[in-house]
Structures are given as C-alpha cells and as structure tokens.
Amino acid sequence: MATVLTLAGDGIGPEIMTQAIDVLKAVDAKFALNLTLESGLLGGAAIDESGEPLPADTLQKAQAADAVLLGAVGGPKWDTIERSIRPERGLLKIRSELGLFANLRVAKLYPQLANASSIKPEIINGLDLLIVRELTGGIYFGEPRGIRTLENGDQQGYNTMVYSTSEIQRIGKVAFELAQVRAEALGRPAKVCSVDKANVLEVTELWKQTMTDMQQESYTDVALTHMYADNACMQLIKNPKQFDVMVTGNMFGDILSDEAAMLTGSIGMLPSASLDANGKGMYEPCHGSAPDIAGQDLANPLATILSVAMMLRYTFKQEAAAVAIEDAVSAVLDDGLRTADILSADSDTAGLKKVGCREMGEAVLAKLK
C-alpha cells in the first residue's frame, strides 16, 4: 500500500486540491492502485496554525510518504513577517529535506487551446517540451547570503551561486535519460539543450563543461547543444519547437519554465514534478497561490490534476492511470469547457463555456467514470 501526502497550502490551494483529490480517488478505485491519502500543513496555513512554515509533523509525514501532492503556498498576508519563516521558506526546506533535486516541467500545448496562447498557432502547434531544472542548489541555496551594512552606511544584498560537479552530473543524468525515453516514445531523435551563462559566470562554465563531458562519455546517442540563458528566453518565444529537453540550474530554470508555461495558453495548465534520486517526488502546479481569486471558484484545477497524472507516471509507474487522466482533461477541453484563464485570450469563444474550479474538476471526474 502506497501513501500520498496532500498539502493544500494557501490561496487557491485548497480549491484546486479538492478537485485533484477527487480525481486521484477515482483513478485509485478504477485501476485498483490501493493508495492511502494523508494531509498536512505547509506555508501560510502552517504559520497560522503553528508559527512555522514547515511543521515537524508535516516533514515527518512527507518523509514517510511515497509521494507528496502540493497545492500552492504564500500570499500577501505573510509578506511582512520575518523572512526566515515566510511560507516560501517552508517550500524550499521541504524540497531540500526530501532531496528533491530534479524539477520536471512539461510544456505541452493542447490543440484545443492554441488560440488561448499569446503566440501564433503556427509557432506553437504540436509543442511538447520538457524543462529539467536543478532544484536544491545554485543561487537559491548558496551561502553566504544576506543583507549587510557597509562601512559607509550603504546596505548591500548578496547571494552566492555555486554548483559542484556531482550536483551537475546528477541533474544531467536525469535530463539525458529522459531525452532517451522521450525519443523512444515519440519516435524522434534524442536531444538536450543545456542552458547556462558560461560567458560571464564561472559556475556555469563548469556546468557547460560537465554536461559536455557526460554526453561524450555516456550519452553519445543524445544530441547536446548549449545556449546562453538570455538567448534561450528569446528562442522559447521565437521557435519553441526546436527544443525537446532543456536542462539548467535553479534560477534560470525558474524563469524559463514560467515563460514556457505561457506558450501553452496559461500557467494554469502546467504541472510539475520534483524528484529525488529514487523517483520519490513532490508534485505541484507551476502557478502560485493566486490570493486575488482565492475562494471565488475561479481557479483552474487542471495543472494540479495533471500533476496527479505525473505522479502516477513517474513515482508509481502507473502509465495507464496517468494517460486516463490526461485523456479526460483533453476530452473536457474538447467539450468546450474553459476556466477564465484559458478563455479570456481565445479569439473565438463560440461553442465554449466558462466554468469555475469546481465544475471543471467535476467534468474531468465524469470523464474518468
């Protein structure tokens, strides 16, 4: 019996989590997965309850669970408290404590949403790329860091961007091997684009050389290219289908994956997985807690529901159940159902129906039964 820990979090987190749990329970019953669900507190909700963003009880449950499903954390309510105990610190800590070093974000365009993207359909039709982001190193975790007062009275903020060869190798291994898997599944050559700023940052000069060495020594069947981060941002807009798997460090991956999300029409459609060395993972939508629409039944639950599909695929190896969820989402989009975020930019709304979070989740659920 496998255990899934659910962490609804803050803002729209509880709303989208309710829909995702209903879907997970449905596939659990349909495919006899024998899953056990537990719940815990993280982020602002945990601060309100216990005074800390990651309570010891939640961490213990997460360490014992086979997978973690997260809603979203943070919001303006906690923006003025001590930085070390803000909601986002709880998210960073749980990733670090669980050793979730590999973040996978799929940017796949559902053809029904081609008009919801701000990019011309001919540029994004058929888009299906994977961004592999190193998640527990780099500038977000590097020491020393802080804000200090200089002798002249000026304040100075400073952070440290650092990567070791072993950290680069383990994320590179994930990227190269996923490129091989995708190549076999999609019937196309395997390729990886490594993103860096080796022209100005020594840390990414080491990144680039390590990726090159890995490809030459162990992954000669995978074509490797290198691209500077600023150019990668531009190329994602200009010609996104040139990419299959992109691999990069924590900060660049944070930026590129959010940019890729908008290619698909809305960040509300983008799921993500964060994995450890053994395939245990935490799964969450790429969007934030959206406190401005929380509690109004306006949120898009599809990224969270698709995160459930990723969990079934990558941690539990239940491909049929994962595909069933993805097919259900596609069928609902075929029926013309749209939450506000994937309707507002659509140039042709004929035959489309605007729905809320609950109705969208219930529609996906109905397709699974």
Per residue in 320-340, is it b (16+ CB within 10 Å) or e — as a string?
ebbebbbebbebbbeeebbbe
Out of 230, 292, 327, 334, the active site residue is: 230
Out of 258, 297, 335, 346, the active site residue is: 258
Out of 61, 163, 197, 244, the active site residue is: 197
CB-count exposure of residue 1 (10 Å: 0-12, 13-18, 19+): exposed
Q: Is residue 254 among the annotated active site residues?
A: yes
Q: Is residue 276 among the annotated active site residues?
A: no
Q: Is the peptide bond before 14 cis (omega within 30 degrees of 0)?
A: no
Q: Is residue 10 among the annotated active site residues?
A: no
Q: Is residue 244 among the annotated active site residues?
A: no
Strand partners, 107: 129
206: CB partners within 8 A, 6+ apart: 163, 165, 168
Q: In whole angstroms, what is the distance from residue 11 CA to residue 200 CA?
A: 39
339: tokens are 């939450």
- Report yes or no: 305 and 367 within 8 Å, Cβ to Cβ: no
Q: Is residue 197 among the annotated active site residues?
A: yes
Query: What sign for the dihedral angle of Cα 351, 357, 359, 365?
Result: positive
Out of 28, 61, 110, 140, the active site residue is: 140
Backbone angles phi, psi at 187, to 5 degrees: 70, 40
Out of 61, 254, 314, 341, the active site residue is: 254
Positions annotated as catalytic residues are: 140, 197, 230, 254, 258
